[in-house]
Amino acid sequence: MNDRAIRKILIAFLKTKFREIRIYQEKSIGGSICDLMAVADCLIGFEIKSDLDNFARIDKQIYNYNDFFDFNYIVVGKNHKETVRSKVPYNWGIIVIEEDNVTVTRKPQKNNKYNIKKKLSVLWKLELKNLLNYFRLPMYAQRSSEFIADKLVESVSSEELSKRVTYEPIPDLYSFLFSSAAAFV
């Protein structure tokens, strides 16, 4: 399967599983491009390796994904399903897509290596200002997003900021993240 086919099935799968999930494609994350980013009560990165792809850039991609996301998945077609485990860290989830079947073959583990400032960089300036307001900090109306992110990082713990980055909780997200297998119907 090619990237486009895998992506289409993955997005349809995520939309059927979760009523409220925001999905972004081709998001710049450091020196890589995240194929698909899902936002719910956490940030989830999905790196897609189609049957036509190789793993030449995977080390750099893993490094960048780990800076931004709470959970990471690699999503592969059938050609990579036997070798993918050796290509990504143990804490990354693995999803295999074959035709219309989506199987979670490995559960992801929480990524504690994220960089809170990089995580904040996925937010719009207005969302950063909402965080300033929530934490009762000065609004810095004419300042840049980077300045605002710096002030948030200086003033609020990483744990609290991380919780607020994706404030719209979706209760059933964790059941998907930690299910051992799922079939797309």
pLDDT score recorded for residue 164: 87
For residue 39, what pLDDT is reported? Answer: 85
Residues 128 and 142 reside in one and the same domain: yes
- The span from the CA of 38 to the CA of 31, in Å, is 19
Distances 72 to 92, 124, 127, 170 between C-alpha atoms, Å: 5, 22, 23, 17
| Same domain? 81 vs 144 | no
- Which of the four pLDDT bands, split at 50, 70 and 90, describes residue 180? very low
- CATH code of residue 85: 3.40.1350
Q: Which of 13-17, 106-110, 169-173 has the lowest mean pLDDT?
A: 169-173
* 41 plus 104 within the same structural domain: yes
User: Has residue 181 got a pLDDT over 50?
Assistant: no
pLDDT of residue 179: 52
Q: Is the pLDDT of residue 14 over 70?
A: yes
Residue 149 lies in a domain: yes
pLDDT of amino acid 20: 77
Same structural domain, 159 and 172: no
* 39 and 67 fall within a common domain: yes
Residue 182 lies in a domain: no
Contact 71, 44 (CB under 8 A): yes
What confidence tens digit (pLDDT) does each residue in 37-96 have? 998 778 999 999 999 999 999 999 999 999 999 999 999 999 999 999 999 999 999 999
Asked if 74 and 154 sit in the same domain, the reply is no
* Residues 102, 25 within the same domain: yes
Q: Which of 148, 150, 78, 69 is nearest to 114 (CA)?
A: 69
Residue 64 shares a structural domain with residue 150: no
Strands of the 43-49 sheet, one edge to the other: 22-29, 32-39, 43-49, 71-76, 93-98, 101-106
* pLDDT exceeds cutoff 50 at 126: yes
- Is 86 found in the same domain as 144? no
In a domain, 61, yes or no: yes
Is 172 within the bounds of a domain?
yes
What is the DSSP-derived secondary structure letter of residue 53?
Answer: -
pTM listed for this prediction:
0.85
pLDDT band, very low/low/confident/very high, at 177 (cuts 50, 70, 90): low
Average pLDDT in the chain: 87
Print the domain residue range for 172: 3-113+168-177
Assigned domain for 8 exists: yes
What pLDDT is stored for residue 71 in this prediction? 95
Residues 54-62: contacts with CB within 8 Å, 24+ apart?
Answer: 55/87, 57/32, 58/87, 58/88, 60/31, 60/32, 61/32, 62/88, 62/89, 62/92
pLDDT surpassing 60 at residue 110: yes
Whether 76 and 13 share a structural domain: yes
Pairing of strands 101-106, 32-39: unpaired
- Report the number of distinct structural domains present in the chain: 2
Q: Clarify whether residues 86 and 99 are in a common domain.
A: yes
Average pLDDT over residues 18-45: 88
- Say yes or no to pLDDT of 132 above 50: yes
Residues 145 and 127 in one domain: yes
